[in-house]
Amino acid sequence: MDSTYRIAHHGEAVVPPSGFGMTGTAIEPGIVYDANDVRITAFAVDHDPIKPAFGYRVDYKGKSVTITGDTAFTPKLVAAAKGSDVLVSELLSPRIVGALANSAQKAGMTNRAKIFDDIQNYHISPELAADVAKSADVGMLAFTHIVPSVPKPLEFALLGEADSHYGGPISVMHDGDVISITGPKAFKTRNLLK
């Protein structure tokens, strides 16, 4: 149960046990859905101390999207994403989160500093996500679940050196964004909320 992991990892003083209540369905790595031309494959990712944790690959009529879920880098990501049209990856900027941890510690915000330190161990940097995209020969890298959240004009700072690791298109996604796969390594992005 997610609450058990979060409380055990961060402690009750940092993450109170109240507020949890979702119920999940247990799955194993492998095909978790296969109907109506849609195949969804779950694969294990490294999100210690959360075990199991999964990423997903969705294949539909010759097109594919791989979603990393929350994870540190692992070679399994490359294997799962191999040849995907789009790699949807989370992103954690170690440089910015490290600065936030130091600032929180200096300000006496020890709970917040601990969380900033903890999360760096089980999330992927933009450079490593770009390495996955390049090694897996994906068509596009789309970042979501971005830590920390910054205003759009500052998003460039989140990407670090990702563009020097991967030559394909890289996008920081926002609520309402839709990516259309229009052909081999061809994409159109639009926002439904604008």
Answer whether residue 127 is part of any domain.
yes
pLDDT of amino acid 187: 95
Per-residue pLDDT tens digits for 126-142: 999 999 999 999 999 99
Question: Smallest Cα–Cα separation from 140: which of 182, 170, 111?
Answer: 170
Range of the domain at 33: 27-191
Q: Is residue 4 part of a domain?
A: no
Give the dihedral sign, CA 59/74/118/172. negative
74: closest CA among 64, 89, 86? 89
Asked if residue 81 belongs to a domain, the reply is yes
- Tokens representing 84 are 């995907």
CA distance 105 to 118: 13
The neighbour count for residue 135, using CB atoms within 10 Å, is 16
CATH, residue 43? 3.60.15.10
Residue 113 pLDDT class (50, 70, 90 cuts): very high
Beta strands in the chain, from DSSP E residues, in sequence order? 30-35, 38-44, 54-60, 63-67, 86-92, 140-147, 170-172, 177-183, 186-191
Residue 6 lies in a domain: no
> 14 in a domain, yes or no?
no
Q: Which of 140, 30, 37, 38 minimizes the C-alpha distance to 80?
A: 30
In a domain, 145, yes or no: yes
Q: Are 109 and 136 in contact (CB under 8 A)?
A: no
Do the domain assignments include residue 3? no
- How many separate domains does the chain show? 1
Would you say the pTM of this structure is higher than 0.75? yes
Whether residue 183 is contained in a domain is answered as yes
More confident residue, 87 or 18: 87
